[in-house]
Structure 1
Amino acid sequence: MKRYTSLILGFLFAGTHVYSQSSDLKNWPKGTSPKEVGLKIAEKFVVTPHTNFNRPTPPRVITYPETCTWYGALTFARVTGNKDLTKKLANRFEPLFHEEAKMIPVPDHVDYSVFGSVPLELYKQTKEKKYYDLGMRIADKQWGPPEGPRVVPASHVYYAQGLTWQTRMWIDDMYMINALQTQAYRVTKDLKYIDRAAKEMVVYLDSLQKSNGLFYHAPDVPYFWGRGNGWMAAGMTEILSSLPKDNPNRARIMDGYHKMMASLLKYQAPSGAWRQLIDEPTSWEESSCTGMFAYAMVTGVKKGWLDKSKYAPAARKAWLAVVNFIDENNDVRDVCEGTNKKNDKQYYFDRKRMTGDLHGQAPVLWTAAALLE
């Protein structure tokens, strides 16, 4: 009888151990800890030349994947207290005040304006006014009067509604706009920045989120593209992390976030990854959206937005899937190449799989920082 009781207790404790391991966001198998992985990816970025979407030609200006990776590396440096890394990332920025000044993007499009999030993060960590001045000039420009060669056709209509004239109704926008405006709020504590970003987010939620919780790439592109949805997940995460609890749009954004996270649970592959077209089981597993969803889910669990018992196992699997995409050169593989919108499902199936593309490197850093914060 004693032997039988011991066996029963053994099984019970073993089950508890397995459950706790599957829900644990702190203890990781060798080589997969967020501190170790994040540092490798950040150090790789420090020595990576300015890149032009993996094309052989150098870029004319800093591209948004580089911006997002730079911001991620700085966030990782801040969370880990790595002042040496912050200094390296600041040194990488210094030529933009001098011989590389022409590489600062003209902020007349969401993909260019997001660059402002980097100097604002540098200001947060260094308190050097030159970063503040540059970042805030770009943040203010985003809600200033429409101007420039890349103004969207409906810019004046959006501007009259209190939205940014850079509104396109592509889900990608909801990271680009929120990363910048939320950063402006963080450094100034001026509510106007985060209030207008929240208003913009609600318009996108109302326009693009479908009944299954996922998002079309644009109103005229009815496909659930992985990275596009990743931008939306990361954008909601970014703004919710700083949006005051009494903001009138917080409940609406949180509702959209919850609907999306519930849907992502259903579509997560056994490997922990998500697919190039999220709801297409024959579509290939794609790393950049996996990293973005991991960031959103990890943050939700750690901040108490999501039920830990339900979402922590999925968040853990997602991080381990992200790490599995990293090769021996600390490059992320199976990254969907830069993608325009197109009302053609096969177009999304056929996108090239890149290795080392910064679209894939950036969310590794976001997620590593979220796990350590």
Structure 2
Amino acid sequence: MLTSYFRHYAESYSAYKSGPVCYEDGCLYRGLITLYEATGEKSWLDILISFAQKQVAPDGSMTGYVLEEYNIDNILSGRAFLFLYKETGDERYLKASQTLASQLETHPKTKAGNYWHKQRYPHQVWLDGLYMGLPFQIEYGQMTDNAAMVDNALAQMEQALTLMSVGQNGLYAHGYDESREQAWSDKETGLSPAHWARAIGWLSVALVDICELVGKETMGPLAERTVKLLAEIVKLQQDKGAWLQVIDQPDLEGNYLESSASAMFCYALLKASRLGLAADLSDQFVSVGLKGLAYLEQLVIDSDPQVLPHIVCVAGLGGFDGNYRTGTPSYYVGEMIKPDDVKGVGPFMMASAEKLLRERK
């Protein structure tokens, strides 16, 4: 494991948005948690606490957090707050988690019952948001003995996958617009037009994390859907070991091997094997996951100074910063690339932790 790289990255990390709670910092939190759980080394926990204390005041208030924005991305950090409350007993993290849970109580939903991605993206469900919100909802529901919260999260995931499945190709659209008002949405299906790898990466991570939380049996049909998705991801791995930014279009001009999605797929494949999600595919999931992780490790080793390259900074749908994001294949390959972006390094930590858990069996 690239321990020195991860440690230097975490110790020199600055809040992504200069302080306010955001999903980008939540990605680092998840990486630190998995490294701590895999190694037992308290230094990873100490780094996590040092960051979280800057974002959560003793009264539980979170820096820059506005509930009424109904931003599902902000929920992700709540998983770290739940973890820290269980680990330290510090009430600030419980209070912050309660605030985030209260957001979900009133968060706008589509008619089908899925959370809007954000207040400013009405009637829309994005794959990203399934990862940001639903595992936290399950964890919080479990901690508070609220079975209805857990059941609702599982139902939302099932409904979203039903709506966002694309034909028979085993993949899912990045976004769904219930209103069909967005230019990017198909007027028949409401779906966006391309398969962005990181969106599918968020989904794959959400599914294996949910499996760990509730168990394969409780997942029901979601377990089968998870295996089917991961089997398709296996087929789409490129020769070098990584996955493409537009995952299913190798001939697309400007398409490239994208590191954040690749790290997410490695994590999901290795974790699915560890959890026993697909016994007949377990060995294949491991070999593909380890091949992808080896590719990412080599990218870091070969760079000076050490960085994880080829991470798309951000991609979305609809209006943002005066631009309209069309969701087409050419749109995705045109977005800015940023080495060492936390949306890649956090999942890289997570995948490395899964590898370490496997080695220490």
User: Partner amino acid for 1:295?
Assistant: Y
Q: Structure 1 68/192 Cα, relative in aligned 2: closer, same or farther at 3 Å?
A: farther
Quote the residue 2:322 is aligned against.
none
> Structure 2 CA distance, aligned partners of 1:136 and 1:233?
26
Q: Secondary structure at the match of 1:169?
A: strand
Quote the residue 2:21 is aligned against.
62
1:38–1:369 Cα contact (<8 Å) kept: no
User: What per-residue deviation string (whole Å, max 9, x for no partner) do you get for residues 321-361 of structure 1?
Assistant: 22133244443210012112224321112122211211111
2:270–2:355 Cα contact (<8 Å) kept: yes
What displacement does 1:188 show? 3.7
> Structure 2 CA distance, aligned partners of 1:284 and 1:309?
27
Quote the residue 2:309 is aligned against.
333
Worse-superposed segment, 361-370 or 326-335: 326-335
1:171–1:232 Cα contact (<8 Å) kept: yes
> Structure 1 CA distance, aligned partners of 2:62 and 2:271?
36
> Structure 1 CA distance, aligned partners of 2:332 and 2:238?
18
Quote the residue 2:214 is aligned against.
243
**Does 1:257 find its partner at 2:226?**
yes
User: What per-residue deviation string (whole Å, max 9, x for no partner) do you get for residues 287-313 of structure 1?
Assistant: 000000011100011122132232221
What displacement does 1:112 show? 1.6
The number of aligned residues is: 319
Quote the residue 1:197 is aligned against.
153
Quote the residue 1:4 is aligned against.
none
2:115–2:125 Cα contact (<8 Å) kept: no
What displacement does 1:162 show? 5.1
Quote the residue 1:357 is aligned against.
341
Return the structure number with greater relative CO, CA threshold 8 A, min gap 6.
1
Give the structure-2-normalised TM-score.
Answer: 0.81
> Structure 1 CA distance, aligned partners of 2:345 and 2:101?
25
2:245–2:256 Cα contact (<8 Å) kept: yes
Aligned ranges 1:310-329 → 2 under 5 Å: 310-326=284-300, 327-329=303-305
Q: Secondary structure at the match of 1:261?
A: helix
> Structure 2 CA distance, aligned partners of 1:294 and 1:135?
29
Q: 2:258 aligns with which of 283, 286, 302?
A: 286
Q: Aligned residues: percent identity?
A: 21
What displacement does 1:84 show? 2.6
> Structure 1 CA distance, aligned partners of 2:285 and 2:162?
25
User: What per-residue deviation string (whole Å, max 9, x for no partner) do you get for residues 244-285 of structure 1?
Assistant: 4553xx222112111111111111011110000011114200
Q: 1:274 aligns with which of 229, 233, 243?
A: 243
What displacement does 1:141 show? 2.2
**Does 1:140 find its partner at 2:102?**
yes
Quote the residue 2:49 is aligned against.
90
**Does 1:51 find its partner at 2:9?**
no
Which structure has the larger Rg over C-alpha atoms? 1
Q: Structure 1 281/265 Cα, relative in aligned 2: closer, same or farther at 3 Å?
A: same
Q: Structure 1 320/116 Cα, relative in aligned 2: closer, same or farther at 3 Å?
A: same
User: Partner amino acid for 1:128?
Assistant: D
> Structure 2 CA distance, aligned partners of 1:187 and 1:212?
37
> Structure 2 CA distance, aligned partners of 1:106 and 1:237?
30
Worse-superposed segment, 213-222 or 265-274: 213-222
Worse-superposed segment, 180-189 or 285-294: 180-189
Quote the residue 1:123 is aligned against.
85
2:171–2:195 Cα contact (<8 Å) kept: yes
1:106–1:112 Cα contact (<8 Å) kept: no
What displacement does 1:42 show? 4.4
Worse-superposed segment, 172-181 or 319-328: 319-328
Q: Secondary structure at the match of 1:269?
A: coil
> Structure 2 CA distance, aligned partners of 1:246 and 1:311?
20
> Structure 2 CA distance, aligned partners of 1:372 and 1:308?
17
Q: CA RMSD in A?
A: 2.4
In structure 1, list runs of 5 or more residues that go unmatched.
1-32, 53-57, 147-154
1:38–1:368 Cα contact (<8 Å) kept: no
Quote the residue 1:171 is aligned against.
127
**Does 1:298 find its partner at 2:282?**
no
Quote the residue 2:320 is aligned against.
none
User: Partner amino acid for 1:316?
Assistant: L
User: Partner amino acid for 1:135?
Assistant: S
User: Partner amino acid for 1:267?
Assistant: L
1:332–1:355 Cα contact (<8 Å) kept: yes
